[in-house]
Amino acid sequence: MSGQSKTMAAMSSARWKKVSKSYRARNVSKPWKDEEGRKREVRATKFGGKWRLQSKVSDEPDWTYYDPPLLDDLLKLKDVIFRKYQRRRASAEDVASVDKLISEQQAND
C-alpha cells in the first residue's frame, strides 16, 4: 500500500486519526448519524495554528467547509482531542485552541 493510500485509508476510518505530524497538521475524522439517520462524516484539520472543519453526508459528493464551525462539531472535536491528549497523542495547545473556538462560538450565539 502506498503512502498516499495509507493516508486516505486513515482519513476514512471510523475513528478520529492524526495524520502528517511532520507538517504540523492534525487531521481528525469521525462519522456519525444525523437527525435523518444519514451517515455524516466530519473532518477537522489544524494547520498553521488554525482549525478548519468540513463535513459531508454519505449521499453528497462534495465536502462542505464551515467558517465558523458548528458548535456541535466543535464540542465533539473537543472530546476527541481531549481523549487524545490523555494518551499523549495531542498537545495541550490543541485542547486550548479548541476550547477557545468553542468559547468564541458560544459568545457569538
- Higher pLDDT pick, 10 / 38: 38
| Cβ pair 17, 27 in contact under 8 A | yes
| Prediction pTM value | 0.70
User: Is pLDDT at 90 greater than 60 in this prediction?
Assistant: yes
- What is the mean predicted confidence (pLDDT) over 70-93? 92
- What is the mean predicted confidence (pLDDT) over 8-31? 46
DSSP 24-71: TEEEEEEEEE-TTS-EEEEEEEEETTEEEEEEEETT-SS-EEESSPPH
What is the structure's pLDDT at 58? 85
What is the structure's pLDDT at 26? 56
Q: How far, in Å, CA of 25 to CA of 48, rounded?
A: 7
What is the structure's pLDDT at 106? 94
DSSP 4-26: HHHHHHHHTSSS-----GGGTEE
Q: pLDDT tier at 30 (50, 70, 90 boundaries)?
A: low
Q: How far, in Å, CA of 98 to CA of 75, rounded?
A: 8
